[in-house]
Amino acid sequence: MRDLGFRTLDLRSGGRAEDQATWRSLCSRAAGLEGEADTAARAIIAEVRARGDAAVCEFTSRFEKRTLVPEQFEISREARAEACARVSPDLRAALTTAAHGIRVFHETQVRGDSGLEIEDVSLYSRVAPLRRVAVYAPGGTAAYPSSVLMAGIPAKVAGVPEVILVTPRAPDVVLLAAEIAGVDRVLQIGGAQAIAALALGTATVPRVDKIVGPGNAYVTAAKRQVFGLCAIDGIAGPSEIVVVADAAADPELVAADLIAQAEHDVLACAILITDSEALVPLVSAALARQLGDLPRAEIASQALREHGAAVLVEDVAAMVAAVNAYAPEHVELLLADAEAVAREVTTAGAIFVGPFTPEAAGDYTAGPSHVLPTAGAARFASPLGVWDFVKHTSVLRLGRAALTAQGPAIARLARAEGLEGHARAAELRLRETT
């Protein structure tokens, strides 16, 4: 049985001061915004701005060892159809099942115009879809067709006319997911150079209104730097889960859910919060057993060792406080009164309630998008949804009586701010209406 080095932090009264300090450090984590990736992304963006497609081709050759010319950026409809036909019927059925749940859920998020009309005043917010968005899908150690569904379907439900999938390497299953999601075009470019091309536009790559989807540190750094040229969904950090469990929880389930997150990559964070000291060694033993035949055991083991922890607290109230302080991407509640506790959790990307709601269901078939805030951003950010693919425009109409009523206040406030032109623009209309 392997020794994981899965650390325990005792936050109970009388616990070690260093454990409290370690926990505060974990809670204050943030997605890296500086360093090598940030510097490299800035240089790549500058090159794409200056040289367009040629820079994209050069960086693709340098970083991915792929020779690509602009005419090969887009995967043709025919090639996509051939790839889709190669996917097994069982896998196609699973993707279709997942897509149905995602689509049905996100259709509940569609909202129309809102506002009010009072006498001769009409004020409302007009809702319209973005014109063109890009969904980025990583091409690293694992393929994520589910992420294509989780981002592409909400965009199409929102009514986006053109959704572009951008991925450096597109396995057949990812192309099938794109087809099922309703993606319009697929570009086989990636990295910071792809983000720059999408934000700036090149002769071959169309400029988009928004870029969504996770990527590596260089992709994340590039997304942050192009914000303002286009919108982004957020700054993605490593995947993370907090499992909250009491003494009655099944240690095998706790371990399985921690591993399910830890196997993503070596930077993934998997944390157990419990008021049961006896549960911790049982979970550690279950982790060791389950890792024994896991294909990605080395990745999961490193993640658990370096970024995982069992956190001991005194009671349920302390569990809730710890979750809200950490603000996890995912929180799973394996508790006697999970539904009541769920109402108290206010800072989490997604909450999974009870023993029959594994985080894996949220990753694939349940419905809500699994593109979630990470690195503590759940304090202020939301899951990806239909709202990410629309914009609101304020439409105002005042009649003569309304402007007459508001005019004096407009003029006084404008002059208080030193903006005489604003005041005169209102007063001129008032003089003309008398």
Is position 324 annotated in a ligand binding site? Answer: no
| 130/254 Cα distance (integer angstroms) | 41
pLDDT of residue 3: 60
DSSP string for 160-215:
-SEEEEE-SS--HHHHHHHHHHT--EEE---HHHHHHHHHH--SSSPP-SEEES--
CA distance 169 to 63: 13
Residue environment code for 160-181, b if the CB has 16+ CB neighbours within 10 A, otherwise e: bebbbbbbbebbbbbbbbbbbb
Q: How many Å is the Cα radius of gyration of the chain?
A: 25
- How confident is the model over 319-369, as pLDDT tens digits? 999 999 999 999 999 999 999 999 999 999 999 999 999 999 999 999 999
d(C-alpha 138, C-alpha 64), whole Å? 13
What per-residue confidence (pLDDT) applies to 236? Answer: 84
> How far apart, in whole angstroms, are the C-alpha atoms of residue 172 and residue 188?
13
Q: What values do phi and psi take at 232, rounded to 5?
A: -130, 165
Is the pTM higher than 0.75? The answer reads: yes
Give the pLDDT of residue 358: 95
Quick: pLDDT tens for 331-341.
Answer: 999 999 999 99
Under a CB-based contact definition with an 8 Å cutoff, are residues 200 and 50 in contact?
A: no
Q: Is 261 annotated as a binding residue?
A: yes
Residues 45 and 245: their CA atoms lie apart, in Å, by: 45
Nearest to 31 by CA among 259, 246, 223, 173: 223
Strand order in the sheet with 350-353: 8-10, 309-312, 269-274, 240-245, 330-334, 350-353
Backbone phi, then psi, for 74, in 5-degree steps?
A: -90, 135
Rounded alpha-carbon distances, angstroms, from residue 79 to 68, 82, 86: 16, 5, 11
Tell me: is residue 25 an annotated ligand-binding position.
no
The β-bridge partners of 115 are 124
Annotated ligand binding at 124? The verdict is no
Beta-carbon count within 10 A of 374 CB: 25
State the pLDDT at residue 289: 95
In this prediction, residue 140 carries a pLDDT of: 58
Which strand (E) or helix (H) includes residue 21?
A: helix 17-27
State pLDDT tens for residues 270-320. Answer: 999 999 999 999 999 999 999 999 999 999 999 999 999 999 999 999 999
Tell me: is residue 239 an annotated ligand-binding position: yes
pLDDT computed for residue 29 by the predictor:
84
- Tens of pLDDT along the chain (434 residues) come to 456 778 999 999 887 889 999 999 999 887 666 688 899 999 999 999 999 999 999 999 999 999 999 999 999 999 999 999 999 999 999 999 999 999 999 999 999 999 999 999 999 999 999 999 999 998 755 678 999 999 999 999 999 999 999 999 889 999 999 999 999 999 999 999 999 999 999 999 999 999 999 888 899 999 999 999 999 998 888 899 999 999 999 999 999 999 999 999 899 999 999 999 999 999 999 999 999 999 999 999 999 999 999 999 999 999 999 999 999 999 999 999 999 999 999 999 999 999 999 999 999 999 999 999 999 999 999 999 999 999 999 999 999 999 999 999 999 999 999 999 999 999 999 885 44
> Can you read off the two tokens belonging to residue 236?
């993605």
Which residues are known catalytic residues?
A: 329-330
CA dihedral 208, 212, 217, 218 (to 10 degrees): -10
256: buried, middle or exposed (CB in 10 Å: 19+, 13-18, 0-12)? middle
Give the closest residue to 324 by CA, choosing from 383, 380, 255. 380
264 marked as part of a ligand binding site = yes
Q: For the CA atoms of 141, 362, 365, 147, what is the dihedral angle to 10 degrees? A: -40
- Token look-up 């887009």 returns 74
Determine how many CB atoms are found less than 10 A away from the CB of residue 140. 12
Tokens, residue 422: 């604003």
| Full strand arrangement of the beta sheet holding 210-212 | 185-187, 162-166, 132-136, 210-212, 231-232
263 annotated as a binding-site residue? no
Rounded-to-integer distance, Cα 189 and Cα 71, Å: 12
pLDDT score recorded for residue 259: 97
